[in-house]
Chain A
Amino acid sequence: MIESELLRILAAVLSIGIPGVGSAYAMQRIGELSESLLEKEEKGFFTNSLIFSVLAETPAIYGLLVGLIVLVSSGSFAEAQGIVAVLASIAVAIPGAAAAYAIGLVSQAALVAVKENRRLFGKSLIFAALPEAIAIYGLIVALLFLNGVGIIGTGTTPSIVNVEKVALATLVTALSGLVAIFIGRVAVSGIKSLAKDEGTFGQSLIIAVLPESIALYILITVLLILTNSGFI
């Protein structure tokens, strides 16, 4: 029983800590750049910077969400539940941290573009949000894990949990974190292109989203693994 409680705490620490550090790093980079670009008369630019910072904070919120669910869930955990909770926290933590890093990367380029041309804010925001998709996929997987073992939802806890399959699903989800960085790099180029010619928005957006397809295939694979394991 004590081990399960330790697993619960470990899950919370991982899901809150890892994406938290990623978000903090991204926010630091965005903050530094914002401060160097800020001018007293430009109140709108301050708000824009703030919104980019909030975007970088999102993966940390997803991690916090999973951590809170694990911590506040009532009753004591069975061993399998504890292990799945830790795996869920890894699934949300690694892609979340990578996504935060990538959001930071894109937001910095976006800030420079917005500083030059205010009208680019809305479009730049969409580019900056692209890597966040990977954090969201991590969150989806984590929520399905937790739902599968009855930590959330009204479903009953399955008598047998195939931990090995869940671990493999976690591994592949964690790997998808890399995709966030690739999306981020393409999105930075997209913003550069946007800054030169606003008319390229549509094409740049489509190109920037292409690497995300791989993360979606990973998500589909994970969903199939979970269906096969009786989680869905």
Chain B
Amino acid sequence: MKLMVKGVYRVALICKKEKLKDIAKKLIKEEVYEPKKVEKEYGGPYVDSSLIKGIGYENHIREALQKIGRKVNIAFKFDEMESIIIEVVEKIERLKKEGWKGKIDDVEMAKIWASLEYIEYLKLVKKVMDKDEKLDSFVLLEGWSDARGIEVLRGMLGKDIQVFEHIEDSRAPTKVENGNYWSVFDPLIELYPPFKYGTINISPIIGLSFLFIFGMMFANIVDGTIVFLITSVLFTRKKDKMYALGALMGLSSVAFGLVFEGCTLCGIQPFYPVFEEPIKFLVLVMGFAFIHQIIGNILGIANNLAIGERKDAAFRAMSVLIYVIAVGYVLGSEALMVGSGILALLLLLYSGLEKATEMPHILSHFISYARIFAIGISHYTIVSVVGGLLQTFLGNGVVFIGSLLFAHFIVIFIEGIIAFVHTLRLCILEFGTKAVVSGDASFTPIRFNKKHIEW
């Protein structure tokens, strides 16, 4: 596992269409590109406008066109595109002079103008291509790459290929590099806003939190086993990390199922039977919330300090002290409450009084964990009802097993999605806003482009 790596190069690769397959094979071998997408997207020259500075220019142009009542096809032809942009800009300017009060502001105008930069970029690509008369067709491959990736590409590309290198951008993207084991959490981490350069990679803690919370919400041996088996088979066949994560979620569900419900068939008594006494479960969940939020804030403090954001670190430290005050209240220790209170106030003053507006979130994020209790109870009750209904088939083995599987598949599909989404929410919002310091642009790995432009 490594800390954050900054991508510094933008690569545009041009080659003969016929050579694409060979290059694709090499890229796959080097794991620069995902195999499935190469096969799916292969077929002609492609350009993905959204990769250029991260803005979907075509969308802006399309919106502008709609506002002035001009209809266009979904795919622009390159030659048309430049004239369309100019036409749009000129028409809007003319309408404005005539007193038109349409909804196109200066920002949108700037975006439309910026589209011309995109056209210039494409022209540059075409100019390079035109140098070689034999190069009558080409494929554009672009994206960010780190220095290592550039070396890999250089080592395997032939003479017909050009590589553009753009030295470090002021907002060059960041990427998280996880080792073999922790990369199972990559599908989760990709949902987070990009981590700031120089901060600590907390993917393992996020991943483990995710499994823990999901397990509590979806605790059941049968459901967990089914999820584990299905996702394991799918992972073996498709090698998609999402399925590996699914298998771990299944295991977590089984583990918490054993702890909370036990296993009647195996003769295992529940270690902590929370569902019989819902309040006990609520207390457990809120205890977890307490610890989880403190861990999140401590990680956030470390991240803030790592990049020199002392005021933000002070605010997070103050959040921790709020929890210490709560401990003081429970223990009846006035000294702890007063001491922490004074320190918290000083930290708040240091971090800036405007931060006080964020204080209610300390409480609201803590209470928000109560959803684990509600979804956990809901899942348990539904499974119990299903179990009760299936008792009538107990005498007939085949029918019983068939009905059991069918019923659990439905429960997994509905309750599993609910538990999954709310676990994501807790990890991204309630925990993520404490532990993660985000803000940089996201890393777009080198890839074949999606949109087809005819020259």
A residues sitting closer than 8 Å to B (CB atoms) are 51, 54-55, 57-58, 61-62, 65, 68-69, 72, 122-123, 125-126, 129-130, 132-133, 136-137, 139-140, 143-144, 147, 152-155, 195-199, 201-203, 205-206, 209, 212-213, 216-217, 219-220, 232
Contact = CB atoms under 8 A, between A and B. Distances in A.
A72 B360 CA distance: 40
Contacts of B378: 61-62, 65, 139
Given A72-B388, A132-B421, 9 more contacts: A54-B414, A58-B418, A61-B414, A65-B382, A136-B374, A198-B442, A199-B441, A202-B192, A219-B367
Interface residues of B, number: 45
Nearest to A58: B418
B35 interface: no
15 contacts: A58-B418, A68-B385, A69-B381, A125-B424, A129-B425, A133-B368, A133-B371, A140-B370, A140-B373, A152-B278, A154-B277, A199-B193, A199-B442, A202-B438, A206-B433
A216 B367 contact: yes
A125 B374 contact: no
Contacts of B56: 196-197
Interface string B334-377: 00000000000000000000000000110110011011011101
- Which 3 pairs across A and B sit closest by C-beta, in order of nearness? A202-B193, A216-B364, A129-B421
B333 interface: no
A213 B366 CA distance: 11
Contacts of B192: 202
Question: Mostly helix, strand, loop or mixed at chain B's interface?
Answer: helix
A143 B374 contact: yes
Contact of B421 (A55, A202, A213): A55
A126 B55 CA distance: 23
B241 interface: no
Contacts of A126: 191, 421, 424-425, 428
B370 A219 contact: yes
Interface of B: 54-56, 59, 190-194, 276-279, 360-361, 363-364, 367-368, 370-371, 373-375, 377-378, 381-382, 385, 388, 413-415, 417-418, 421-422, 424-425, 428-429, 433, 438, 441-442
Contacts of A55: 417-418, 421
A71 B413 CA distance: 25
A196 B194 CA distance: 17
Given A153-B277, A154-B276, A199 B428 contact: no
B191 A122 contact: yes
A140 B363 contact: no
A212 B364 contact: yes
Contacts of B421: 55, 125-126, 129, 132
Contact of B361 (A69, A137, A147, A213): A213
Contact of A68 (B191, B368, B381): B381
A133 B425 CA distance: 10
Nearest to B441: A199
